[in-house]
């Protein structure tokens, strides 16, 4: 199985903050969302666009995935954002306020055929249309916008996020069906390490690839939570070896630690090892 890019930690960086843009070059985040939307005041949008474009063209972000969140195309800034970053060194454009797959066609016409699109899943309509949005040929990733979802759904905040579970599972289901990336929403209390650790574990167990973050202090916890453990890597290696040995002897299954190992378990084991390799490669840059 080929190496896959990890998305354990996906850090939001304001596109208007030159100091943060410089600091991000040395952070251990797997991916960066350079934000031109919520993190930038209306009267600073044009300046932020120019600042971010210059930073991306300067480079220095290594193998971190560089994703630009533009303003919604329905705003006065969205079209200019899309045009400015169609060819500015970004790896993807993140489109907010997506309600249907047709919204992506509008962006695609502006940025051309090659630049991947990620979408914010932050409205009730986006969740109801998650399957069609994820299946769009331009879409490479879904990002849960849990704060906006909670607002629109009128839910109350709970540590277990029970009111949002259906929406979160819908995002993961759609992403897995389309074989694209799914990233969990932010954890707002960035000084609460235990709470972040618990929410990362929940997101990982739901099937997300990683978590969006609002502060660099959250990176290490997310990286640890969404990475395979040494025990998981060791078990995956033993499962693959046992299955290959079993197949060589004409059998279709193997037994490891008292549990049956079939082809589906091998597929999971190979994915774990591919993820571990990708993490090591990213750290070694």
Q: What is the pLDDT of residues 167-188, one digit of tens each?
A: 999 999 999 999 999 999 999 9
Residues 14 and 44 in one domain: yes
Residue 3's pLDDT is what?
Answer: 46
Least confident of 11-15, 58-62, 199-203, 243-247: 243-247
Rounded distance, CA 251 to CA 278, Å? 32
pLDDT tens digits along 124-146: 999 999 999 999 999 999 999 99
Residue 112's pLDDT is what?
Answer: 92
Residues 20 and 76 in one domain: yes
Question: To which residue do tokens 């930038």 refer?
Answer: 40
Residue 2's pLDDT is what?
Answer: 44
Phi, psi at residue 184, to the nearest 5°? -70, 165
Residue 160's pLDDT is what?
Answer: 96
Share of residues in the chain with pLDDT > 90 (%) = 92
Residues 168 and 236 in one domain: no
Rounded distance, CA 32 to CA 143, Å? 13
Share of residues in the chain with pLDDT > 70 (%) = 99
Residues 247 and 121 in one domain: no
Residues 249 and 275 in one domain: yes
Give how far the C-alpha of residue 202 lies from the chain's centroid of Cα atoms, to the nearest Å: 15
Confidence of residue 285 (pLDDT cuts 50, 70, 90): low
Confidence of residue 51 (pLDDT cuts 50, 70, 90): very high
In a domain, 39, yes or no: yes
Confidence of residue 113 (pLDDT cuts 50, 70, 90): very high
- Strands 31-35, 9-14: pairing is parallel
Question: To which residue do tokens 């300046």 refer?
Answer: 47
Higher pLDDT: 119 or 3? It is 119
Residues 114 and 240 in one domain: no
pLDDT tens digits along 199-247: 999 999 999 999 999 999 999 999 999 999 999 999 999 999 999 999 8
Residues 148 and 73 in one domain: yes
Q: Is the pLDDT of residue 1 over 60?
A: no
Mean pLDDT of 24-33: 97
Asked if 209 contacts 226 with a C-beta cutoff of 8 angstroms, the reply is yes
In a domain, 53, yes or no: yes
Residues 132 and 239 in one domain: no
In a domain, 3, yes or no: no
In a domain, 24, yes or no: yes
Q: Which of 225, 246, 261 finishes a domain?
A: 225
End-to-end CA distance of the chain: 21
In a domain, 258, yes or no: yes
Rounded distance, CA 50 to CA 80, Å? 11
In a domain, 268, yes or no: yes
Residues 178 and 259 in one domain: no
CATH code assigned at 63: 3.20.20.60
In a domain, 45, yes or no: yes
Q: Which of 225, 240, 257 finishes a domain?
A: 225
Q: Is the pLDDT of residue 150 over 60?
A: yes
| Domain span holding position 270 | 230-283
Residue 126's pLDDT is what?
Answer: 98
Q: Which of 199, 225, 251 finishes a domain?
A: 225
Residues 78 and 95 in one domain: yes
Q: Which of 245, 156, 20, 279 is nearest to 11 (CA)?
A: 20
Residues 67 and 129 in one domain: yes
Mean pLDDT of 74-89: 95
Domain count, the chain: 2
In a domain, 2, yes or no: no
- DSSP H/E element including 253: none
Q: How many CB atoms lie within 10 A of CB 23?
A: 12
DSSP character string of 212-251 = EESSGGGHHHHHHHTSPPHHHHHHHHHHHHHHHHHHHTT-
Q: How many CB atoms lie within 10 A of CB 108?
A: 19
Residue 37's pLDDT is what?
Answer: 96
Residues 118 and 251 in one domain: no
């Amino acid at each position: 199985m080929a190496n896959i890019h990890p998305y354990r930690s996906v850090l939001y960086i304001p596109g208007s903050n030159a100091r943060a843009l410089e600091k991000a070059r040395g952070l251990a985040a797997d991916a960066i969302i350079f934000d031109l939307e919520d993190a930038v005041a209306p009267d600073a949008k044009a300046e932020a666009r120019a600042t971010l474009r210059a930073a991306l063209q300067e480079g220095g972000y290594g193998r971190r995935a560089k994703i630009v969140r533009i303003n919604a195309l329905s705003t006065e800034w969205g079209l200019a954002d899309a045009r400015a970053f169609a060819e500015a060194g970004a790896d993807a454009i993140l489109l907010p306020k997506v309600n249907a797959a047709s919204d992506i066609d509008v962006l695609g016409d502006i940025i051309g055929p090659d630049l991947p699109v990620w979408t914010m899943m932050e409205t009730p309509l986006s969740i109801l249309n998650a399957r069609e949005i994820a299946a769009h040929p331009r879409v490479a990733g879904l990002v849960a916008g849990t704060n906006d979802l909670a607002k629109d759904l009128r839910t109350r905040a709970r540590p277990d996020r029970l009111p949002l579970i259906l929406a979160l599972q819908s995002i993961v289901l759609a992403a897995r069906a389309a074989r694209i990336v799914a990233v969990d929403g932010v954890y707002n209390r960035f000084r609460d390490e235990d709470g972040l650790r618990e929410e990362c574990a929940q997101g990982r167990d739901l099937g997300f690839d990683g978590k969006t973050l609002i502060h660099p202090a959250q990176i290490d916890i997310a990286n640890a939570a969404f990475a395979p453990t040494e025990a998981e890597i060791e078990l995956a290696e033993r499962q693959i070896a046992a299955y290959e040995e079993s197949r060589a002897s004409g059998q279709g299954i193997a037994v490891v630690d008292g549990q049956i190992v079939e082809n589906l378990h091998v597929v999971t084991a190979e994915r774990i090892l591919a993820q571990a390799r990708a993490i090591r490669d990213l750290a070694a840059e």
